[in-house]
Structure 1
Amino acid sequence: MVKLAAKCILAGDSTVGKTTLAQIFRSDGAQFQKNYTLTTGVDLVVKTVPVPDTGDSVELFIFDSAGKEPFSEMLDKLWESPNVLCLVYDVTNEQSFQNCSKWLEKARAQSPGVSLPGVLVGNKTDLASRRAVESAQARAWALGQGLECFETSVKEMENYEAPFHCLAKQFHRLYREKVEVFQALV
């Protein structure tokens, strides 16, 4: 039984639901913030995620980053050497989806030459009548970037755990691959 620790960057524009996603995940769905407060800088959320069929677990250190440009300079230091990435956009806001390219580039720049596993999360699916980004469009972009794709409604508590469970599995898989390479050398 192995317990691993992974640094997870939670990135995306402001008001897409990053903080609420992290908070509701940490509280197992018990805490939905009705009053929104802008994240300034970075909040840290920590939660242990069991990896199915292994007995192992991954402790995710989720760095919930401010989505406003004035805070982006301080992100460079806080984002150093991430292990996994969770990109979030608002399905009712085309620009927040377009900006995922910028956030992905910024995150990958923190680990040049290293594969950064990650997920793309479209939040606010409960606002179906206002949808501006189609699921297929997001899936195609995510696939092209080597990311898994999920849609959630944090407000309705739908699918909010899946992206983090996927990240834990991705990180665990990388760990197992490194162990196998090391064992082959011995």
Structure 2
Amino acid sequence: MGSGGVGKSALTVQYVQQLFVEKYDPTIEDSYRKVIEIDGHQLMLEILDTAGTQQFTAMRDLYMKNGQGFVLVYSIIAQSTFNDIIEMRDQIARVKDTENFPLVLVGNKCDLADQRVITTEQGEDLAKKMKAKFLESSAKNRVNVDSVFESLLRVIISAGVLNLKDKKKTKKGKKEH
């Protein structure tokens, strides 16, 4: 999740298809699946790439209620997208009726460091306040793209959201993005 234009779709497509989408096309909702192995467990990862605009907030409640973990994305070159993060995190907490849920905070577009307005330290501080894992990424240059999703899966697993005792079956890990 994140404001419009922060690179949610670009991160997701880069992760799933190893492809950078140059053209910005606002998303309403896209769903992706990828089988990955993490820490010896084979998982079917379902990524729901959500709208960044406020007009689709009604749809978000359902994503939030059913999501097992969340990636909140802002652009390091746009202050307003960073400012929106707390409200999104609080909205997830309200819908899930808990302050504790698997969460990764991502400062995207680190390839545009010369235009940076949000420091790495600001991102780290916000992640600490939200009890989230923090990474900076670049969908364009494929920096930390895999780490974003793998980090969230590890947080989901360590939170006990998935039952991984039966290793013979493929388990599902859902993420809101």
* TM-score higher than 0.5: yes
Match of 2:34 in 1: 47
TM superposition shift of 1:160 = 0.7
RMSD: 1.9
TM superposition shift of 1:57 = 2.6
Match of 1:34 among 22, 41, 63: 22
Pairs within 5 Å for 1:1-186:
11-27=1-17, 29=18, 31-40=19-28, 42-52=29-39, 55-113=40-98, 115-175=100-160
Structure 2 unaligned residues grouped into runs of 5+: 166-177
SS in 2 for 1:170: helix
Higher relative contact order (CA 8 A, sep 6+): 2
TM superposition shift of 1:179 = 7.6
SS in 1 for 2:90: helix
- Matches of 2:163 and 2:144, distance apart in 1: 30
Higher Rg of the two aligned structures: 1
SS in 1 for 2:111: coil
TM superposition shift of 1:83 = 0.8
TM superposition shift of 1:178 = 6.9
Q: How high is the sequence identity, in percent, across the aligned residues?
A: 25
TM superposition shift of 1:177 = 9.0
Report the TM-score when normalising by structure 1.
0.82
Preserved contact between residue 111 and residue 140 of structure 2 (Cα < 8 Å): yes
My pick for the range that moved more, 162-171 or 76-85, is 76-85
Aligned-partner residue type, residue 109 of structure 2:
K
Preserved contact between residue 36 and residue 45 of structure 2 (Cα < 8 Å): yes
- Matches of 2:151 and 2:63, distance apart in 1: 23
Preserved contact between residue 9 and residue 27 of structure 2 (Cα < 8 Å): yes
Match of 1:6 in 2: none
